[in-house]
Amino acid sequence: MDQRDTQPGPPSYVPSYAPPQRTPNKPTVRRRTAILGSAGGLVLGLIIGAAGHSTSKTTNTATGTPSVTTTVTATVTAQNAAPAVAHTSAVPPPSTTAAPKPAVVFTTTGDGIKKTESFTTGPNWSVAYTFDCSNAGGQGNFVLQVDGDLGDMLANALSAKGADTSYEHDAAGSHYLSVNSECDWTLKVTNGG
């Protein structure tokens, strides 16, 4: 007999250890934690929303018994959700001050070369003028200036007759007009025009 047959020893079959294999459909611990966290956030949102619910009572007209209707508004929160960003555009409020209505502050008529009386205007104003040279024998010259020879020239025309409007901007204060013409003319100063 062989000694190997009589001596105790390790069994002839030794099982080998292999770690359990992961099945593809079974979620990992991290995925389970994320899923449970999201579900917990959802439940928390429903609880918070239910706390702000409203209840209204109505009466069933057929049976005369009151019935209760409950409306629940749920707020759902998600884990790792991006914060909400509110976008607003700055729109200026509508203007409550209306532009001043044009008002005539000075009118005059004349002929030949003259300076007018003084008048007072706001920052923006206009002068409407007409001239007619029929009494001068046909064609004539019409020159109109603000505040004398060194002021703004508003008109310089050579014609038998004409009419137009000239505008002044950023010129508030006291002014007068100078006319150099052999023709008959009219002037109308409008503030805000």
Asked whether residue 55 is assigned to any structural domain, the reply reads yes
Asked whether residue 147 is assigned to any structural domain, the reply reads yes
Asked whether residue 40 is assigned to any structural domain, the reply reads yes
* Domain with 37 in it: 29-60+67-71
For position 129, which CATH number holds?
A: 2.60.120.380
Q: How many domains does the chain have?
A: 2
pLDDT in tens, 17-67: 666 666 556 555 565 555 556 666 655 565 666 555 544 455 555 555 555
Same domain, 40 and 118: no
Asked whether residue 179 is assigned to any structural domain, the reply reads yes
pTM to 2 decimals? 0.49
Cα dist. 52→40, 44, 58 in Å? 19, 13, 20
